[in-house]
Amino acid sequence: MKFPTFVYETKKYKEGLFFVAGCDEVGRGPLAGPVVAATVILDPLSIGKQRSKTKWWYRVRDSKTVNERERSELERFIKDHCLDFAIAEVSHETIDEINIHQAGMLAMRKSVDGLKPKPDFLFLDGRHTIRGLDMKQEAVIQGDTKILSIAAASIIAKVARDKILGQLHAIYPQYGFGKHKGYPTRQHREAILKFGVLPVHRRSFAFVKQCLR
């Protein structure tokens, strides 16, 4: 398992950039629900130079490799040791209007805009920086496995989105949102075929579009 480090952020501090943020989004693949992004400015004084089991961030990593119980615990640690964080979501309706890539970028932009203070530098997971954003930024492929602040953002975003899908599960229990979180699992696809397309489904996605036909 690959663990991120604080090396990328440290280099920026040495360049005189103090508020260094990491940003990530979750929920590109699901057939239902919003895409959610988070941006985090970690407190450098709480990190230290070496990873060890005594450090709060020892187990922080890409949210996809963390189970639900551990994510909730790490989320609390991250929120307790950051200068600020912000969460933003973009609805399934907007995803259908502007496509999932643009919706993911919009969610990240909204989460960055929600920060106080404004970052001096922004690391983003993926291949794309945010257009029109007035700050220095760098997109890093698989950044959530390399950069601690991006991994922290991925965990916060994942926990936030899972809560939303938990709320959908309470409304539509027969679809199993609490388990698959809207992803196109066999259980989810079979539920759509049996019970129909819901208002929260992404109608621009191929399987949902096919079911509507």
Amino acid at 47: I
Strand partners, 89: 36
For residue 211, the model assigns a pLDDT of: 96
| Residue 132 to residue 171: CA distance in whole angstroms | 38
Residue 125 assigned as binding residue: yes
For residue 9, the model assigns a pLDDT of: 97
pLDDT digits (tens, 9 = 90+) for 25-35: 999 999 999 99
Residue 25 assigned as binding residue: yes
For residue 199, the model assigns a pLDDT of: 97
Q: 157 Cβ partners below 8 Å, 6+ apart?
A: 24, 25, 26, 36, 37, 38, 63, 87, 111
E strand map for the chain: 20-26, 35-42, 82-90, 121-125, 136-140
CA atoms within 13 A on the CB side of 25: 30
For residue 52, the model assigns a pLDDT of: 80
Counting as low any pLDDT under 70, the low residues of the chain are: none
Nearest to 153 by CA among 124, 176, 120, 178: 124
For residue 54, the model assigns a pLDDT of: 85
For residue 213, the model assigns a pLDDT of: 86
For residue 53, the model assigns a pLDDT of: 85
Structural domains of the chain sorted by starting position, each given as residue range(s) with its CATH number in brackets: 7-212 (3.30.420.10)
For residue 51, the model assigns a pLDDT of: 80
Residue 80 assigned as binding residue: no
